[in-house]
Amino acid sequence: MIAVLAFGAATLYLSASVQAVWPEPRPVAAVPRVEITVAPLARPALAIVRVGPAKVTPAARPVRTLTPRRHYLFGRPEVAAAPETLARRAKAVAGVIHISSVEDLTKKMSELDYRLSDVRRGEAEVPRLTIAALPCDLRQLQSVRSRKSLFVRTILPLILQANETVMTERRQLQAVLAKKNLDGVDRAWLGELAARYDAKPDDASELLRRVDIVPPSLALAQAAEESGWGTSRFAQEANAVFGQWTYRSDTGVVPNRRDDGKRHKIRSFGGLRASVLAYLRNLNIHWAYVEFRQRRADLRARQGWLSGYELTPSLERYSERGKAYVKTIRTIMRVNGFAAYDQARLEGGDRLGI
């Protein structure tokens, strides 16, 4: 009996010792159960296209709606959406603008957000910008790329504006010539136009050959070559960007290396715009460019549009260098990608039927 009691006491002692060494574990907080419901993916509608001899009626054809490509004045939709901004920038290009330096010209171009890359891609129109004269420190600009860019951005709007004036006259001429009977007003206008283009009013074919534009690619290349990209003495002192000659004694700049016995001067102008207008008139009326005008008319009749590159061979008489000059002009056009500017258009204008 005593042995039994002793064994029980020993068992209780060992049980209490184990509980002291191994306490009961703390309860662990239950992890909440999260149920995620995934909605089944919606199947896209399938377009069934019938392939085979079965005829598809016009009503059954899918209608594709295209968003028309808009041309913005400064190349950015957010600018075009702000009328007050457009009004301010339109004011910035109004009238003749006088530039004092390269910095001033660069700032003006930046204010207008006028970039040649946008123009070449057809994403922006060319502002109606009329710069009075090129900055005198243009030749000091170290970056050739920047110098070329400023020159082209200055001259291109002037070329497009001059072409626009000529194209307006050409379209009116075509409308008048299409009439069976001309009234007094039409005859008077036709006579005035013929006088300006040094032609006979009753020679419709010759008038159409003369009243036409010069592709911007060609005009830009000649301006770059004749003016040294706007850095020559003639361009700086006389706004002569096309190197036109004159024999008048009261005007013009005498070339430094003029041959003995020659009397010609480089014609001077009151501004760049006058120089561009005189260049177009020169190609349209002078006897030396009969071949140019005939080739231009042939291009229009054959393909309906003009290529400056294809017109270049007809300008051998423009320079004493002849064929070498033509080769130089074509190289300038090709290296600088001037062909893209034949599709450029002025703000609010069109492509002038080039």
Give the separation between CA 123 and CA 84, rounded to whole angstroms: 21
Write the pLDDT tens digit of every residue in 246-301.
Answer: 877 667 777 767 777 677 888 899 999 999 999 999 999 999 999 999 999 999 99
Whether this model's pTM surpasses 0.85 = no
Task: Considering only CA atoms, give the Rg of the chain.
Answer: 39
d(CA 268, CA 182): 40
DSSP 114: -
Q: Do the strands 265-266 and 245-246 form a parallel or antiparallel pair, or are they unpaired?
A: antiparallel
Concatenate the DSSP letters of all residues of 140-156 into one string.
G-S-HHHHHHHHHHHHH
DSSP class per residue in 289-312: GHHHHHHHHHHHHHHSS--HHHHG
Q: State the Cα–Cα distance between residues 308 and 221, nearest whole angstrom.
A: 9
pLDDT class for 354, splitting at 50, 70, 90? low
What does the pLDDT look like over 196-221, one tens digit per residue? 999 999 999 999 999 999 999 999 99
Question: How many other β-carbons are positioned within 10 Å of the β-carbon of residue 57?
Answer: 6
Burial of 185 (0-12, 13-18, 19+ CB in 10 A): exposed
Q: At residue 9, does pLDDT exceed 70?
A: no
